[in-house]
Structure 1
Amino acid sequence: MSFGHQHFTTTTQAAAAYLARGWRVVRVPAGSKGPRDPDWPDRVYWPEDFEPGDNIGIVLGSRSGGLVDVDLDCPEAIRAADYLLPPTGLVSGRPSTPRSHRFYVAPGARAVRFIDPDGGSCLVELRADGAERGDGSFGALQTVVPPSKHPSGEHYVWYEFGEPARVEAADLLRAVQRVAAAALLARRWWERRRHNAALALAGALYRAGWSEEEVSSFVRAVCAATGDPELANRLEAVQDTYERAVDRAITGFPKLKEILGLSDAAARALWNWLGLSTGPVEADRAGEDQSGRRSAATVLVELAEAAAVELFHDPAGDAWAAVPVGNHREVFPLRSRAFRSWLAEQFYRQAGRPPGSQAVQDALEVLEARAVFGGPCRPVYVRVAGIGGHIYLDLGDARWRVVEVTPGGWRLLSESPVYFWRPPGLLPLPEPVRDGSLAELRPFVNAGEAEFRLVVAWLLGALHPEGPYPVLLLTGEQGTGKSTLARLLRAVVDPCEAGLRRPPRAEHELFIAAANSWVVAFDNVSTLTGWLSDGLCVLATGGAFAARRLYTDRDEVLLRVRRPAVITTIADSLGEPDFRDRALRVELWRLESPVDEATLGRRFEAVRPRILGALLEAVSATLRYWDRAPLDGLPRMADFARWVVAAEEAGALPWPRGAFLSAYGEQRDELAAAVFDDPLATAVVDLAAQGGWRGTAAELLARLESSADRSWPRTPAALAVRLRRLAPELRRAAGVHIEFTRAGRQRQRLILIQQEQKRERPSAPSAPSAPSAGKRPGADSADVRGQGFAALFWPELESEDILELEG
């Protein structure tokens, strides 16, 4: 049955007809080939959704009962298709490319494109279901159909509008591969070498186990595709090959490669598309065993090449693979289970049997070498990336979409400009919604206004691509909902199946957890041990963990990470001073009327897209106001504080300007007061109150020995290290100043302790005069010691020691 496009005068009429046949449709802008709506794969369109002039597409694959489209993208493929594709009753095209779309019903078929390796142009494409999603569904492709208008101005036409043929997915894939192979050969079917080429081609296919009838049909297709007028001569070559193959040598694939001058890439593609890897062949290169059969490892490597897999390495030297899937790429560590599975699936599709584990291992060795020594160096990101002043957030959905945030706002991108990796367990974020507010998070934070501001600040900081990141410390008694709030906050920026983890038992577990996620979240941390505090400090400001690579003596694995972290605890001890200096402590109130998790979850999911959208708006405002944020008076973690202040200056946060630094300063003072829980700190404060101290670490250890407990440093060196850790908090919380210097001719190491608030402040200086020769500015001949810390409190020090101590 044959119809022209005039049978459907409008897309509304066409949509009704297509829906009646069980096919999903999609609205496409006039003169275009791609849908405008980003959610089109999961959206149902009805005839009334179409406007005059719209184009229309049919959604392919499982959404339309297994309907697939063999899209013949070049003239050679169109001419070869009649000889190699199964006949079907549903065919469309345009006047300049008639019958270029052949439709079939092939449940289970997956989308694949066949590219000419030498020119990069598409020969033929099987358009069907795309990549599998995490929920078991598949990514979608669509094909524009009549009465749509092509960008060239031509209308699409139904050449046949009957029933599409029903074909097994594997059989259709094999037929499409042969069309691609015929098109590739037709482009290289040189006029003066055609007879010898036909002999070599027939010999190669004979060796692969093709029947004479199959070879004849394929040669007919090649001749039709190239316009070879001597078809009878080519068929005689096929017949001659099969007659003499019984008792005489025949040529094969290496000879065909030589005659046609095939590049290595074209030869590999042709080899794979014709299925030559499944049968014995005559060959002249490595990768084949003595029986003439090509190794499975070689085939696996060539399958990766034929699929246009990009091999590269990251700055640490680790190998990666970027696999094209539909209209996006999916990035895997080359040694990961996911990439091994993908490689095995490609082999099974080609050979009809699984590859051996050793073959996969050998292939990965080759691919890894190519990635490390021959591939480009590219950074790989998890969830958040920053490039060129823009920030990218991986939504984690099946379409691999990302959000791009710029000073001008944010938008969704269907193709990421950066390379994101999705570790196991990474969950999708909701599509962000505009016009939301961060104030919508307030009902879920059972704490005061100052603490709520710290929570929002942490979320905002978590979308900074480089950090530093304060550690969010959620504290409170049992029943305050610490774990629930931690899960909700993580779900805003980096949802994960694991949610909250148990605390790590060793440092390497901490860094592995950080490398495999964006937000690090630990629940019920009973004790912030020294190594855990130190490790969290490294995560906050950046660092690396090194370990010996398995089965090697010299190679190291370096895990370089900087990550936002949230931990919940009821512990009174708040870790080491360095950790407290990097923490945001939020003490939660007890929930008088707890809400069950299911109800709370529904309420949160209702506003989560709006909260995310508002957070993205705040990040955009931060980028816009970054240069206007004040630099004076910023605390430690200054880059984090400036990041939040910039958003505050832009009016993008739900509180007045200055409120964040006020809340941040108050909680830093509270955390600094925790220093008094340390017996050593208390002893030092008492010593300062008694007039201070000047002496060596050994002398100080002996002086304080009467106050020692089990946590006391056992050696002078350990004491010095502890004092250096305590110094900033003692200065802020108790006004106790600790200095480390050298004195005397022997350059003896000294520790100086003094209560700063007892200093005698010098009076305001008079107008300065020019300093005398040899004098320090601000000093006169009677006071060469200056008026700094050491000179005021230790006048017995020699002048050179005072000058060094005071800088």
Structure 2
Amino acid sequence: MTDKHAKLIEEYIQQGWQVFPLRPNSKEPTGKWKDQKATLETLPTLFKPDSNIGVALGTASGGLIDLDFDSSEASAIGNILFDMLPGFGRKSSPCSHRIALCDDPGKTTQFGLTPEEAALTGLHGDDKAMILELRSTGGYTMFPGSIHPTGESIEWLSELPKQIPSVKWADMEKKAGICAFLAIVLKKYPAQAGNRDNICLALAGTLLRMGMPPEQVDRLIVFIAESKGDEEAQARLKAESTKGKLDAGEDVTGLPTLCDLLGIAELEPKLQKWLKSTSHRKSPDEMVAELNEKYFVVGNDGGSCRVVFFEKRHFENDQVREIMVYQSFSDFKNFMMNKRVTVGEFESGIPKTVPLGKFWLEHSDRREYDQIDFLPGKTPPPTIFNLWRGFQYPSVQGGWCKMRRHIWTVLADEDSEAFRYIIKWSAWAVQNPDRPAEVALVFKGGKGTGKGTFARWLTDLFGSHGLQIFSSKHVSGRFNAHLRALVLLFADEAVAPQDHDAESVLKGLITEHILPIEAKGRDLIQARNHLHVVMASNNSWVVPASADERRYAVFDVSGKVSGNKDWFKGINDEMRHGGAEAMMHFLQNLDLKKWHPREDIPANSALNGQRIESLKGLDLLWFGYLSTGDVPIGEPCDDGFRIPTREFAKEANTHHPNDTKAGKILKEMGCRQDRNRRPSGWITPSLKEARRIWDSKRFRAEWNADITAWIRDLEPPF
């Protein structure tokens, strides 16, 4: 017997443990081990130089208990759950045992699997696959100082402490069950991407229900994920958010879902026993009810019968909106293929399960509707699914004076007519979410002036039915399903008037009562238009406004508060703390009588500016003559000029001059035709008369008061 060998045995005896010899390189005792107990005096005669060392467990050794990890997965998990306990093992399994002292040791508890269960998990054994044992009274363990039957030395991880940690048996048994359970999870965790995130969510729910602290839950989840090569392991930290949902009483997945995802549904009863879990597998009716909360079947939408659900989509500026998603029955069943519902038992007692997707689709209580419609503020018959989800904020009387001051000072530029129109338009939108406004609010101004501050909060009032866009693709793109359930569309620098496709679609969004809607992979359908459009831009030309324009109410935004951070902070703070609710209350209760946005559109310089920017061709050329009082191609005649028809046509369109159109415009603008000279031409009326005719035929312009007559002499006056 070596000195080291003898010293270890002496330390065990001094701990008060029952120590006895085992056969060399073996776990078998040399005799009736329960009757053998070495003392310092009998040690030399009881132990041979090559004897292995056995230590009795439980009451025979003062409550000594041993966690024997029989699988590498259990040992790896044990290094986290039991890292405070002394451990030992051999080179190929350096920490296959952990020991502790227990005042109330129970009976040895084994966590093992039958051969069939072992095959299901990937663990194998001739009789049964033992994952770990919590060993106590009536058993013994081969301790360090021995040689394992494989020939490896059994060593302590570090020196044996003089004070062995004390534990409660119930706590150890519970943690041992968790360890065995997690060993199976580690074995079954997928090496390839797929359901990893859902697995981690269900695992977090299971462990949190066991009372495990969130930080330890995350540590275990990350360890399991990293051990299986999950490159997104750090993104699997689910404990804090899951605990928040549990604390709030929300539904959180747990052991039943986890077993389904790992393909070990048959093991759930055993795992529940190991975990002493209070969770239960949902009944078929409960699972149908759960799916009904998210999914439904629509009999006819665009000519097809589909499964429908809502999915959160992210738009610009951190906006999140729920978008309706369609799935065919086959796609839905494929998506649900890894989820099963227990519908009975086989004769052997093993649960009989069927695919959940197929079960739900065939169930008489599945949620279903004949059709889908968007009916803001209305209650449809039970056969119609209404996409309307209501406003984002409740209506609560209160103050929102800072936002109103912003509308007055910045958006209306302290103009009473503009202020009243903006407020009434907004109130009409809130009070009539089911009808298109037919007029768009347009705010034009420099960067940082605050033209979008009000529009963003107004959009937010409508919740999922309001959307801020920054790209014309969300207006003129082929797939526009996001418009189907929209009430407020804020186009922020999204549409340029030169974009003719977007311009054409935008006009339809503003005024048409029916919209063509096309979702990806779906047939085109016709849907009612409910849009109220707000636009904002830094450009001088924002909208294509015709001479008799009634689609746009345009406002030049003031730059008075540009760059004033305190101004905007005050507005946003107010709106976040009751202002939004107060604004909602005011707009909902403003008495509009029979007012409509098409009434009283301010005929201001901002709208005229858009009309001028939108002029083209012959109209643009003639307006230029009226503005400057000069006709470069004309010859002075009477009180005006004689304009050759062909020259006028060429000035407007060099490549494709049209004499007929040129003559028609000149006649409409009060010119009289001169057939007495060649080439054919037209004689203008006086500048005053020509401007009067323009104002009556096109729009009232703000003419230069310093120019009152045609400039007929371009020579300097000296």
Q: Considering the TM-score relative to the shorter chain, is it more than 0.5?
A: no
Short-chain TM bin:
0.3 to 0.5
Q: TM-score, normalised by structure 1?
A: 0.35
